[in-house]
Structure 1
Amino acid sequence: MKAISIRQPWAWLIVNGYKDIENRTWKTSYRGKLLIHASGKLDFNAQDMKEYRSIMASEAGIDIPEDLPLGGIVGMVDLVDCTMEPDDPEGWHEPGCYGFVLRNPVALPFRPMPGRLNLFEVEEADQ
């Protein structure tokens, strides 16, 4: 099965159904089930992460956990499209990027595993 590494808190937001577009500088023709791997790093430093949690809680009603898992599979989605102009009423798409359109998110029990660049294969034994 294919997987993609995404930094936290974005991986958590995706598998919990809040973020349905993943931005990339490259396109893919792959469509289908996609495991979400939380990379080994946060996308923010500790102070910025605290501020982001506060903003998301007050403005969007989303309570992002403080102890986000890093370095493993956290969920699965269906990758249904890859486009420069996705239908994105929530505003997740960054102009100039390819928007990977994600549907049917499912949070899975955390499974530690190293990530890789681009889409990568997860062997049956690793799943």
Structure 2
Amino acid sequence: MHDLPRLALSVRQPSAWAIIHGPKIIENRSLGAIRAGDMAPGPICIHAATGMKEDEYRYLHWRFAQHGTTCPRPEALIRGAIIGTVDVVEIITTSDSPWFGGEAGLLLENPQPIEPIPASGALGYFEWAPGGEIAAPKPWMLRFGRGADSATGDLFPEAPPAYKTPPKKPWS
């Protein structure tokens, strides 16, 4: 644990997973949040926030699939813990990357997963300390994509949910 950066950034799932294990190379933030959080280039830990809403998960699950990435089921995503490290190499305000979608972002490189360390999160960059517990799955996470009658068993229980239309983006 001594080799980990002392600063962390809390990111909601499944974006935290995609930063550490997937292709997400930009974490979008407003310029105000970047200034208020004293965000600057350098190594940081990625903290998987405790909160995760079904509409956010559904939208990002669909979006990651558009980029060829299979997102883990919601109950499999660690929440309430440091899950890895990454280097913030630049604060950007424009990009052609499909991961850029806002006023500004942190350009990320060198993601390194670690064994999750339970910790509380905070806004902006924060000095983290181990403690607490990894969040337990919420009921919606356990039944996500399982069909209306999971008790009798779906025909293809491990098949990812299909989308007839793209889910609505839950934030602007």
TM-score (norm 2): 0.61
| Aligned equivalent of 1:41 | 51
Q: Which segment drifts farther, 76-85 or 60-69?
A: 60-69
- Considering Cα pairs closer than 8 Å and 6+ residues apart, tell me whether 1 or 2 has the greater RCO: 1
TM-score (norm 1): 0.81
Is residue 104 of structure 1 aligned with residue 79 of structure 2?
no
SS of structure 2 residue aligned to 1:40: coil
Shift of the 109–22 alpha-carbon distance from structure 1 to 2, 3 Å rule, reads same
One-letter identity of the residue aligned with 1:24: R
**For 1:74-99, what per-residue CA distance to the aligned partner results, in whole angstroms no more than 9, with x for missing partners?**
110001111212x443x11123x221
Identify unmatched segments of 5+ residues in structure 2. Answer: 1-5, 131-172
Is residue 94 of structure 1 aligned with residue 94 of structure 2?
no
**Greater strand content:** 1
Return the alpha-carbon distance in structure 1 between the equivalents of residues 48 and 91 of structure 2.
Answer: 20
Return the alpha-carbon distance in structure 2 between the equivalents of residues 36 and 61 of structure 1.
Answer: 23
| Aligned equivalent of 1:69 | 78
Q: How big is the shift at 1:29?
A: 5.2
Return the alpha-carbon distance in structure 2 between the equivalents of residues 106 and 19 of structure 1.
Answer: 13
| Aligned equivalent of 1:81 | 90
Return the alpha-carbon distance in structure 2 between the equivalents of residues 80 and 104 of structure 1.
Answer: 10
Q: How big is the shift at 1:60?
A: 2.8
Return the alpha-carbon distance in structure 2 between the equivalents of residues 31 and 48 of structure 1.
Answer: 27
Q: Is the 8 A contact 1:82 1:98 kept in 2?
A: yes
One-letter identity of the residue aligned with 2:43: K
The size of the alignment, in residue pairs, is 119
**For 1:68-121, what per-residue CA distance to the aligned partner results, in whole angstroms no more than 9, with x for missing partners?**
000110110001111212x443x11123x2211110011111111110111001
Q: Which segment drifts farther, 48-57 or 13-22?
A: 48-57
Compare CA radii of gyration and give the structure with the larger one: 2
Which of 56, 59, 67 lines up with 1:60 in the alignment? 67
One-letter identity of the residue aligned with 1:38: A
